[in-house]
Amino acid sequence: MTALQTFVLPECITGSSADKALGHALIKAWQTDGIFQITSTPDQELALQSALQASKRFFKMPHAVKASCLSDLSYSGYVFSGEEVTAGERDNPEIFTVCKDLPHTSEQVQQGWPCHGPAPWPDADYKSSMQNYMDELGLVGEKLLELVALGLELPDKNTLISLTKNGWHHMRVLRFPAESSSTSRGIGAHTDYGLLVIASQDDVGGLYIRPPVPGEKRNRNWLQSESSAGQFEHQEPWTFVKPVPRVFTVFPGDILQFLTDGLLLSTPHKVKLNTRERFAFAYFHEPHFEAVARPVLGSERDTSIHYGEHFTNMFMRCYPERTTTKRIHRENRLAHIERLKDEVFRPQQQYPN
Ligand SMILES: O=C(O)CCC(=O)C(=O)O
Ligand SMILES: [Fe+2]
């Protein structure tokens, strides 16, 4: 394939004909390539470089210090190389995950909601550089969702961002070791769980994505019985995502596939190790924990995904042995999800007239 298509985001989205044309172009790029690039602004680039330097400092810390950045309340924190498994095989990056950073005093943490808690930062400097970068990407995510709504010709350009107010956005910072004589596996083929994946990488290279293939059946990864982990791993086509300075790459996650009834597909991707260590960021722009997503296209409009349940299921599936998962089981924290779903789906009370 030639270079990926690259777009520049406008200052703000008004719904103008230029915005609509851009929205259509983004949709078309995803439907043909599975991914596109966005040119970053100088502020975004500064935030990225600061987060990258801070992350390199973090990963150089002694293993015991990194391993102590762990929480049994939230999935934020350190993931050691080999802890994550995709389709039964160990993946090789070490990772720092940042989920919503909620103080012990917040209502949901006090009540014991699953996945809710403070992020176990190694220090204040790492926290501020990561939060600053995530805030920049949050603005990119919101603009993209407005453009996507316009590109899908939804009657209201706010349809998708109505799901993401106080969204459960999260981020993975990944350090991949250089390949060795025993392995070149980075991460096995998978799809990501949410609406949008906004990724950036250094100059080393290793990410591959699978473009849409006409007639190919794609799994619905949000269903227990249709995990996309490991699918197509050894089957072409895969597109190498060439490192390009000063761009983000963007592709759809599972929830966008669900919302669009498969018009947009959650892009499968995998990572191969290279001859040098590699750093990458994967930012996930997500619905609010309590949001209920229903398809905006297609004939299945009355099906739904409760986002908090989906996130919790996916992380429990990914980290069955993590202390966070064990505490969810031990304290029956899933009962909170059941209660939230009951509140949404309980039939309206009938009053005699
Ligand atoms: O290494 C990358 O570029 C992507 C990482 C990834 O797929 C993930 O963290 O889910
Ligand atoms: Fe991923």
Q: How confident is the model at residue 353 (pLDDT cuts 50, 70, 90)?
A: low
Rounded to two decimals, the ipTM of the complex is 0.99
Which pLDDT value is given to residue 5? 98
**Mean pLDDT for the stretch of residues 9-13:** 97
**Mean pLDDT for the stretch of residues 186-199:** 98
Tell me the per-residue pLDDT of 233-290, one tens digit each, with 9 for 90 and over. 999 999 999 999 999 999 999 999 999 999 999 999 999 999 999 999 999 999 999 9
Per the CATH hierarchy, to which homologous superfamily does domain 6-344 belong? B-lactam Antibiotic, Isopenicillin N Synthase; Chain (2.60.120.330)
DSSP 142-194: HHHHHHHHHHTT-S-TTTTTTS-TT---EEEEEEEPPP-SS--EEEEEE--SS
Which pLDDT value is given to residue 198? 98
Residue 282 CB–ligand 1 contact under 6 Å: yes
Q: Has residue 200 got a pLDDT over 60? A: yes
Task: Please report, rounded to a whole number, the percentage of residues in the chain having pLDDT higher than 70.
Answer: 98
Tell me the per-residue pLDDT of 282-321, one tens digit each, with 9 for 90 and over. 999 999 999 999 999 998 888 999 999 999 999 999 999 9
This prediction has a pTM of 0.97
Expressed in angstroms and rounded, the spacing between residue 124 Cα and the centre of ligand 1 is 25
Q: Are strands 36-39 and 6-7 parallel, antiparallel or unpaired?
A: parallel
Per-domain boundaries in the chain: 6-344
**Mean pLDDT for the stretch of residues 201-217:** 98
Nearest Cα neighbor of 287 from 72, 88, 112, 100 is 100
In this structure, the residue with its CA closest to atom 6 of ligand 1 is 282
**Mean pLDDT for the stretch of residues 161-188:** 97
Whole-number average pLDDT of the chain: 96
Residue 241 CB–ligand 1 contact under 6 Å: no
Other residues' Cβ atoms within 10 Å of the Cβ of residue 147: 26
Residue 170 CB–ligand 1 contact under 6 Å: no
Which pLDDT value is given to residue 351? 63
Which pLDDT value is given to residue 299? 87
Q: Has residue 36 got a pLDDT over 70? A: yes
Paired with 208 in beta bridges are 240, 270
284 and 196 in contact (C-beta within 8 Å)? yes
Tell me the per-residue pLDDT of 77-113, one tens digit each, with 9 for 90 and over. 999 999 999 999 999 999 999 999 999 999 999 999 9
Other residues' Cβ atoms within 10 Å of the Cβ of residue 233: 17
Which pLDDT value is given to residue 84? 93
Ligand 1 probe mutation, 35, 52, 81, 174, most atoms within 8 A of CB: 174
Other residues' Cβ atoms within 10 Å of the Cβ of residue 105: 8
Tell me the per-residue pLDDT of 111-124, one tens digit each, with 9 for 90 and over. 999 999 999 999 99
Expressed in angstroms and rounded, the spacing between residue 107 Cα and the centre of ligand 2 is 31
Order of strands across the sheet that contains 239-240: 185-190, 269-272, 207-209, 239-240
Other residues' Cβ atoms within 10 Å of the Cβ of residue 111: 11
Q: How confident is the model at residue 352 (pLDDT cuts 50, 70, 90)?
A: low
